Structure 1
Amino acid sequence: MKPRAPSCSLSAWALALALLLATSVQAESPRRFALVAGNDEGGADTRPLRFARDDARKMHDLLLRLGGVEPGDARLLLDDDADDFLRALSELEASARAARARGERTTLLLYYSGHAKDGSLRLGDSQLDFEALKRRLSAAPADIRIAILDSCRSGALTRTKGARRAPAFAIESGASRDARGLVILTSSASDEDSQESDLLGGSFFSHHLTSGLMGDADRSGDGQVTLFEAYSHAYARTVADTADSSAGPQHPTFSYDLAGNGDLVLTDLRVRDEGLLVPRTAPAGAYYFVDPSGAVVAELDKAPDVERRVALAPGAYKVKRRLADRLRVGETEVRRGRTTVLDESRLRDAPFSDDPVKGVPSKERALRTSWTLGLTGGYHSFFDAPTREQLFLSTPLMGLEVGLHHYFREDWRWDFDLSLGGRRATLELPTLSGPSYRYSLLTVGTSLVAEFPLGSVSPFVGARLAYLVMGRDFEDASLPDQFYAVLTPGLVAGVRWRLPGRFELTGRARVHYLLYNVDAKRSLGYWELGALVTYRL
């Protein structure tokens, strides 16, 4: 008898289904966790940066929009110290560990923009050792760990076997689901400074990295930007833009220790159906996209007969394309949930003097400006002894103060203050039997001061204009109350200390001139000593 062909058993179907499900799970994108930190302050012997916090905000927003990171899996730290940094990292590690226990693949991405010196990240007055951070990342409970550091001499973190300073590195092609290990990208070599740009409104490296992740680095045109593409793009553009700078060329570095095959996709331009499409028919060249503040938020290098996409966030932008003898400029708007096609007919020829990026240093104030709010205590007294004993009494003060930093120019501060004080006293006059009264003082002032940052300490000096209202409120109702109000110009000087976190402590002295002209013209002077605790908003 001829044997019959065996039929597919239920167990075979189950095995096939299990393999299919396993392949499906394996193909899923890993769950991504992101710690993004920016700190403009670096403690002693460093000068505050201008754009580190702005760079961190941009990277955080980009990872949420295009990087596959859910809001609950991201942490954004601005001007926080090393303890806050490690605490946030521990929280993300715990979440990644729980996800892996459920069978999920995980990626942990760390981005830092700020100071680094002597082998440590400098977060305000606190420090985080490079090697300790690298060991922490190596042991982190995630399948893939990616660290991106934008700081001076950050290449010290990759100064180990396998680290390179080069425009590109080879990664086997294929899906990235099998990759495991640690990747570190830094903005500069171990002996180089990382440079910021007023025109870009950020650091060279972070600008070109984020611009690349929004589409400029997508050389394959598949709508995804991989680690290889992003680093290669950021390297080439950073070196080119800093080659002629006073600090010299800046060379990003990388170190990777990956097991398995495949490049790592960092952003997917297709995840949101919005952005700007530069059609195939548009002229070739370098396109620049400028936001309303005047900062270049993205760039795009278009070749002939190639369609390019840049995943700009919804908003209005100016578009610039530089030609040999003129500019092509115009405006476009990216709407939420829609892809906008750039219309070449809406661009116009313009001379170089109409460059929309020109004048950015004056417009950047909106990006760098910050506010502080504080409580103040002090003491007010006149220099002349008879005046402070009988006419205008020495008085303790309590008040509020608001500071606007870096508005007129870098390291200038514009303060607005309000203080109240009072005390009980007895009027000593020959004809009266010492009537009692309450002396009150109200001061409203504004100061413009220049600071001289020296690490965490910033001495300052400036001018002040105050309006004083001084009064006597007699207990004896038969005696009329007395008030005197006057404008007084003066000078102010002091020192501001930056404390851990967002708090600051200020000690200061003020000297003012006052013209008293009630019964006779008298030139008087008074002084104020005060201490101020402020919080950076």
Structure 2
Amino acid sequence: MNALLALTLVALTAAPADTGAPPVNRLAVVVGANRAAPGRTPLRFAHRDARNLASVLVEAGQFAREDVLVLEDPEPSRVLAALDSRLERLGKEGREGLLLFYYSGHSDEGALYPNGQPLALKELRARLEDGRAAVRVGILDACQGGSWTRAKGLTPAAPFAVEVPLALSSEGSVLLASSTGQEASHETDALQGSFFTYHLVAGLRGAADEGDDGQVTVGEAFAYAQRLTIRDTSLHGEAVQHPSFDLRLRGRQDLPLTRLASASSTLEVRQELGPLQVIQLHTGLVVLEVPEGRRALRMALPVGPYLVRRRTPEGTFARELQVEAGKTVTVHEENLELVGAPGLAAKRYSKPLAATLTTLPAGTHAVSTRVSVGYGEQWVGPQSGLYSSPPNLGVGYRVGLTERLELTVFGLPVVKLSRPQEVSVGIPSPKLSYRLGEVGRFEWVPSMSFSLGAQPGKWPEGVGLEAALRTRWWLSGSSSVHMGASVHSYFRAPWYVPPYVYDSPRQVNSSLGAGYSVTLGEVVTLGIGFGVSTAIFLGPLRLADGSVHHSNPLELLTYRIGGSGGSPFPLLSIHLDDVWTLTADASVSWGKSNSGNGFSAGVLATF
């Protein structure tokens, strides 16, 4: 994890005090860049961060809607042209003006990357030092590095001080950074945005109004965002993120950024103890939190339904309300009603079930036993006729070597349960799988396996190699679509004599599959899939009677539907707890040359 810079810089010339002069002309260019340059991880919420910041500027920052330009993944030249045109406008009007620039996306120590293309920071610094705007505001939420929270950048680089990229030579500045030069800042699914920008916007909406004077200063907004950013990254991040603050204003101690009286729709909260949370019902997101203590706050919120909530050891107290245009809605903490006892909404397990993950976490083991049986019919070929597979007891083993690398061991003993009982002992063979992507979003898992075959008196019989690729697209936190493909070839030893073929050429088996899985209430997982496979013989088959058989891969196509095929999970899994799972599976297969059915039941232990 490397330095992510998300800073807010307010550069001020010696602006006169508020003495009834013409109102300040406020213009803004707001940029969100999800797209990344080649080799970088795309972001998901930079557009949302930009739109949220633009909304609070219009609703509480006294910016006219037409004067706030929102650009999503623009070309760098368009960004500079937008800044230049607004500086030119402010210069012609000759009155006090404020120019605000916001960027959320990728960067490094020398450039921003809107639309995945470099925009030199020196070009931006030149605009933010242009005196045609009396007040210049720069907000950059950008970074280097990357991990599960999608820190906004590419590769590790040496730490750099937050003052360097946008240090201005003019007097009067306020510098807010979401982290130090040695830390990263992040965006997260839980907030659908970056930690610091999310809390900064909430503070500007009124949650940071410490003086209860109806306005939020840059110092108040920073203190609010700093406290909640440290808290949230302590709980959810790999390392704590420490926002920093540098105030250099000539002739004043702080700078008001929003005035809540200018908002058209507001919520007034009368809090006795707190902390209260305000939840936007149509998104389910906590839009702001009111710090503890007795407070009377007015907050600028978009029109819509909300829930005001306070959680205590005795339970959750809440009240629904509707914020309407042109009105102020007031809610008193004492009027909140008890809606639930503690833990009613708690999940059954504190972390995802290992049995439902694509690969096992580091240090986690999975041992499975299952009884399987099958029967079918071969219609063509030297082994045509009905066949059956007697009940067999098999064992499987997997282990997570790292958070992404998993080892599966094949060739473990199989016990024939019918008489006469037999134990088939294979040669333990490894399969390595490496997971790319993120749990809950999109994952793809390439794998490679190696196996040895055995023939009595002549070992080994041959060597098998398989390469496979599985993908998993999470539709939600509990359901996924799966796809997979594999190629397998077996190289037989020179001394191997097949039972019915004199000359057995090399054979390549290939398969494709797709499936769906869903976990219901953390108790039951259902899996279903469809697959197709075939065999390709690199030459003719010379049979024991001397005849030659030429195989057609299309004639050897076999179709399969059931669990553990296109889906990596069996048809039914019942999770007794976070260790023990009961499994049951069934499948049907058919093709031009054969058909079959398979059934199994077993127990899986993950620990």
| TM-score class, shorter | 0.5 to 0.7
Corresponding residue number in structure 1 for 2:163: 159
Deviation at 1:257, TM superposition (A): 4.7
The one-letter amino acid paired with 2:163 is: R
1:112-511 matched pairs, under 5 angstroms: 112-139=103-130, 141-152=132-143, 156=160, 158-160=162-164, 181-255=172-246, 257-261=248-252, 263-279=254-270, 282-291=271-280, 292-304=282-294, 306-342=295-331, 344-354=334-344, 409-411=440-442, 462=483
1:67 to 1:309, Cα distance in 2 relative to 1, 3 A: same
Q: Secondary structure at the match of 1:331?
A: strand
User: Higher mean Cα deviation, 186-195 or 255-264?
Assistant: 255-264
The one-letter amino acid paired with 2:297 is: R
Deviation at 1:130, TM superposition (A): 3.0
Deviation at 1:201, TM superposition (A): 2.1
Normalising by structure 1, we get a TM-score of 0.56
1:161 to 1:83, Cα distance in 2 relative to 1, 3 A: closer
1:86 to 1:450, Cα distance in 2 relative to 1, 3 A: farther
Deviation at 1:335, TM superposition (A): 1.1
Deviation at 1:249, TM superposition (A): 1.6
Check conservation: 1:183, 1:257, Cα contact below 8 A.
yes
Q: Secondary structure at the match of 2:190?
A: coil
Normalising by structure 2, we get a TM-score of 0.50
Q: Secondary structure at the match of 2:66?
A: strand
Deviation at 1:338, TM superposition (A): 0.9
- Name the CA distance, whole Å, in 2 between partners of 1:61 and 1:122: 23
Deviation at 1:145, TM superposition (A): 0.9
Corresponding residue number in structure 2 for 1:58: 52
User: Higher mean Cα deviation, 323-332 or 262-271?
Assistant: 323-332
Corresponding residue number in structure 2 for 1:383: none
Corresponding residue number in structure 2 for 1:401: none
Deviation at 1:137, TM superposition (A): 1.0
Map Cα deviations across residues 263-312 of structure 1 (whole Å, 9 max, x no partner).
32111111135321122xx43111112222211111112523x3222222
Corresponding residue number in structure 2 for 1:69: 63
The one-letter amino acid paired with 2:45 is: F
Identity %: 30
Check conservation: 2:35, 2:114, Cα contact below 8 A.
yes
Check conservation: 1:199, 1:357, Cα contact below 8 A.
no
- Name the CA distance, whole Å, in 2 between partners of 1:62 and 1:310: 11
Q: 1:48 aligns with which of 23, 33, 42?
A: 42
- Name the CA distance, whole Å, in 1 between partners of 2:21 and 2:330: 32
Deviation at 1:44, TM superposition (A): 3.0
Deviation at 1:462, TM superposition (A): 4.4
Corresponding residue number in structure 1 for 2:80: 86
1:240 to 1:23, Cα distance in 2 relative to 1, 3 A: closer
Structure number having the greater helix percentage: 1
Check conservation: 2:109, 2:165, Cα contact below 8 A.
no
1:257 to 1:524, Cα distance in 2 relative to 1, 3 A: farther
1:267 to 1:356, Cα distance in 2 relative to 1, 3 A: farther
1:120 to 1:491, Cα distance in 2 relative to 1, 3 A: farther
Deviation at 1:449, TM superposition (A): 6.9
1:451 to 1:97, Cα distance in 2 relative to 1, 3 A: farther
The one-letter amino acid paired with 1:286 is: P
Deviation at 1:52, TM superposition (A): 1.4
1:247 to 1:129, Cα distance in 2 relative to 1, 3 A: farther
- Name the CA distance, whole Å, in 2 between partners of 1:337 and 1:240: 35
Q: 1:34 aligns with which of 2, 15, 28?
A: 28
Q: Secondary structure at the match of 2:107?
A: strand
Deviation at 1:36, TM superposition (A): 1.0
- Name the CA distance, whole Å, in 2 between partners of 1:145 and 1:358: 51
Check conservation: 1:239, 1:250, Cα contact below 8 A.
yes
The one-letter amino acid paired with 2:309 is: K
Superposition RMSD on alpha carbons, in Å?
4.1
Map Cα deviations across residues 109-129 of structure 1 (whole Å, 9 max, x no partner).
111112222432222321223
The one-letter amino acid paired with 2:66 is: G
- Name the CA distance, whole Å, in 2 between partners of 1:221 and 1:358: 42
- Name the CA distance, whole Å, in 2 between partners of 1:335 and 1:357: 35
Ranges in structure 2 where 5+ consecutive residues have no aligned partner: 1-15, 145-151, 153-158, 350-436, 445-469, 475-480, 486-510, 515-530, 535-553, 558-607
- Name the CA distance, whole Å, in 1 between partners of 2:43 and 2:348: 22
